[in-house]
Amino acid sequence: MVAALGGTLAERGHEVAIFMPGYRSVLDGPHAKDAELTHRLKIEMGDAFLAGDVYTIKPRAGVTLHLICREEYFDRKLPYWTGERDYDDNDARFIFFQKAVAELLRLTDFKADIVHCHDWQTGLLPLFLRYAEQRYGVTLALKTVFTIHNIAYQGIFSRKSFHLTNLPEELMTIDGLEYYDQMCMMKAGIVFADLVTTVSPRYAQEIQTPEFGNGMDGIIATRVEDLHGLINGIDTAVWNPATDASLPARYSVENMAGKALCRERLLQEFSWLAKPTAPVTGTKRRGANGHTNPGLPVATAAQGTIKGPVFGMVCRFTSSKGLDLLLGAEEFFAKEDCRLVVLGGGEKKYEEAVRAMAARHPGKIGVCVRLDEAMSHLVEAGSDFFLMPSLFEPCGLNQMYSQAYGTVPLVSHVGGLVDTVVDIDASPQSGTGIMFPPTQEGFNGGLRRALGLFGDKTRYADVQRRAMRRDFSWKTAVAAYEQLYTNAL
C-alpha cells in the first residue's frame, strides 16, 4: 500500500519521502543497487546509544526512499517473526526504527506537512516527533496520521520495554501507552496521532465493537471523531489482465479469449489437463508439484476441458482467513463437478491439513504451499471464482484483483469486503460477486450459489463484465487520502 499510495501522490505533484527498515529482502532487491549511504545515526535506546546507517534511493520522480539499517535488527530472513513466533526483540527493533525516522526528519529538514504512520511498528512515532520538536525547537510535521491495517496486531510488550523509549514516565499510564500493565505501541498511535484511519469504512465501524476490536474498542471510542475508513486501491501497473506479463495470455473486458487460456494453464499445473505438445519455453520456475517446468505457453490450447467451475484461493494460512471453513467444505469440493486450487502458507497445522485434503482428492483439489507471485497471478486469472471466507478482513486486495481479472469473488460479509463487492442477489443489476455470513453454513451456501451462477452462462458473463469495469486503481483511491490530508491541515 505505502509504495503505491506514495507513487500515486507523487504523480499528482506531491513530494513524498518513504521511511522503512533496511530489511534483507529489500536490500537484496533490484532497487537497492542504486542506494547511496547518506547518513550515519546515533540513536538513544535507554541507557545506550546505537548506530544506524541510512541508505537513500530515488525510485521515481517525486519519491525518496530512506532505508534505515542496522544489521543486528533488520538483516533477517523474515521481517517480523521466525516463521513460528515473533522475534523476541521486536520492541527494540521498532523503537530504534521510529526514533531513527524522527532523527532523519530533523537532519534532512524535510518539513513534512503530514507524517503518515502505518500499523503498530510506527505507533510511537507521533510521540517521538513531538518530543524531538520540543527538544530541538523545530517543526518536523504539521500533522500526523496513524493507519490501522489490522487491529489484531498491536505491538504489546513488557512494561520494561518502555525504558527504551526515553519518554517521560508519566506517559506510561492508562491514558498513555500502558495497556493491562504492558506497553502497547498501537495504543500510542491511536491516542497520540492527530488523525486515525483504517483501510475501509466498514472496518472503521467494526473495530468500535467488542467482536472486532480485539480489546481496543474502548480506546477507539475515544477517537471516533478523528477516525476515518478509507478504501485501499490496487496497483494496476502490476494487476491488470490486459498487460500482465506473467500470464500465458492477456485479456480484457472487450476480449475475454485469453482468460480461457489462463484457465487451461492453471488446470495443467495440477495435471488436470494434458499440457500442450509444443510450449514456448522461457524462464524456468517451479511447477505446482515442486518440479521445474518450462516457461508458460503463449497461447496454445490443451486437449480436453473441465466443464465445472474452478475455485481459487490465495492467502496466508491462518484461522482469520477462513481456513477452517475451507476445510469444512471438503465434501462439497470432493463431490461436486468443480476444482479447487489453494496457494499460500502460514501456520503448520493448516499447511498439513490442506495438503492432506488435496492428497485425499488429487483429481479435485490442488494445493501449493509456498509464496509464488507468478502463481498468484495465474490463480487469479485462471479461476472462475475466488474464495475469501475471512472471519474478518480490514480491507482485502484479492477481491479487487479478482474483479479486475473477471474472476467472480465469493466473500464473507465482513470488513472491506462489504465495501468492495456487490452481492448478485441483493443487487441483481449491479452485483459483482457472492457474499455470505462467515459461518460454515454460510460458506457452503455461497458455494452452492456459485454453482448455480456458473450454470447460467449469460448471467455469469454479465457479472464478470460488471466486475471488470469497476475502477479500484490508486488513481481513484488517492483522492480520499488527499482530502484527508487537506482537512487535517
- CATH number of the domain residue 356 falls in: 3.40.50.2000
**Cα gap 313→139, rounded to integer Å:** 47
The answer to whether residues 125 and 178 belong to one domain is yes
**Cα gap 310→307, rounded to integer Å:** 9
- Tell me the helices (H) and strands (E) count for the chain, helix number first: 19, 19
pLDDT of residue 288: 40
Q: What is the pTM of this model?
A: 0.89
The answer to whether residues 293 and 343 belong to one domain is yes
* pLDDT-derived band at 83, boundaries 50, 70, 90: confident
The answer to whether residues 174 and 292 belong to one domain is no
In a domain, 31, yes or no: yes
Beta strands 63-69 and 48-60: pairing type?
A: antiparallel
**Cα gap 272→309, rounded to integer Å:** 13
- Which of the two residues, 109 and 101, has the higher pLDDT score? 101
Tell me, letter by letter, the H, E, C secondary structure of 334-371.
HHCCCEEEEEEEECHHHHHHHHHHHHHCCCCEEEEECC
* pLDDT-derived band at 33, boundaries 50, 70, 90: confident
| SS3 state of residue 197 | strand
Number of structural domains, the chain? 2
Give me the amino acid identity at 335.
Answer: K
**Cα gap 354→360, rounded to integer Å:** 10
In a domain, 190, yes or no: yes
In a domain, 307, yes or no: yes
- End-to-end distance of the chain based on CA atoms, in angstroms? 23
Above pLDDT 90, what percent of the chain?
Answer: 89
Residue 125, all three cell numbers = 512515532
In a domain, 240, yes or no: no
**Cα gap 211→426, rounded to integer Å:** 25
Residues of the chain by 3-state class (helix, strand, coil), percent to 5: 40, 20, 35
The DSSP code sequence of 30-70 is GGGGG-EEEEEEEEEETTEEEEEEEEEEEEETTEEEEEEE-
The DSSP code sequence of 101-144 is HHHHHHHHT--EEEEEEESGGGTTHHHHHHHHHHHHT--SEEEE
Least Cα distance to 144 among 102, 100, 182 occurs for: 102
The answer to whether residues 397 and 294 belong to one domain is yes
Q: Which of 51-55, 218-222, 276-280, 326-330 has the lowest mean pLDDT?
A: 276-280
Class of residue 427 by CB neighbours under 10 A (exposed 0-12, middle 13-18, buried 19+): exposed
In a domain, 134, yes or no: yes
The answer to whether residues 154 and 268 belong to one domain is no
Residue 412, all three cell numbers = 464473507
The answer to whether residues 482 and 427 belong to one domain is no
Strand order in the sheet with 227-229: 112-118, 141-148, 195-198, 227-229
**Cα gap 92→450, rounded to integer Å:** 48
Contact by Cβ (8 Å): 421, 433 = yes
* C-alpha dist (Å) from residue 175 to 104, 180, 184: 29, 12, 12
pLDDT of residue 472: 97
The answer to whether residues 168 and 65 belong to one domain is yes
**Does the pLDDT at position 207 exceed 90?**
yes
The answer to whether residues 265 and 398 belong to one domain is yes
In a domain, 315, yes or no: yes
The answer to whether residues 214 and 264 belong to one domain is no
Contact by Cβ (8 Å): 338, 316 = no
The answer to whether residues 280 and 186 belong to one domain is no
The answer to whether residues 284 and 152 belong to one domain is no
Which run of H or E residues covers position 198?
A: strand 195-198
In a domain, 136, yes or no: yes
pLDDT of residue 276: 63
- At residue 17, φ and ψ (nearest 5 deg) are -120, 130
In a domain, 249, yes or no: no
* pLDDT-derived band at 32, boundaries 50, 70, 90: confident
- Domain that includes residue 483, residue range: 2-233+477-488
The answer to whether residues 63 and 131 belong to one domain is yes
Instruction: Please write the tens of the pLDDT for every residue from 267-319.
Output: 999 999 877 654 443 333 344 444 333 333 333 334 457 899 999 999 999 99
Contact by Cβ (8 Å): 241, 467 = no
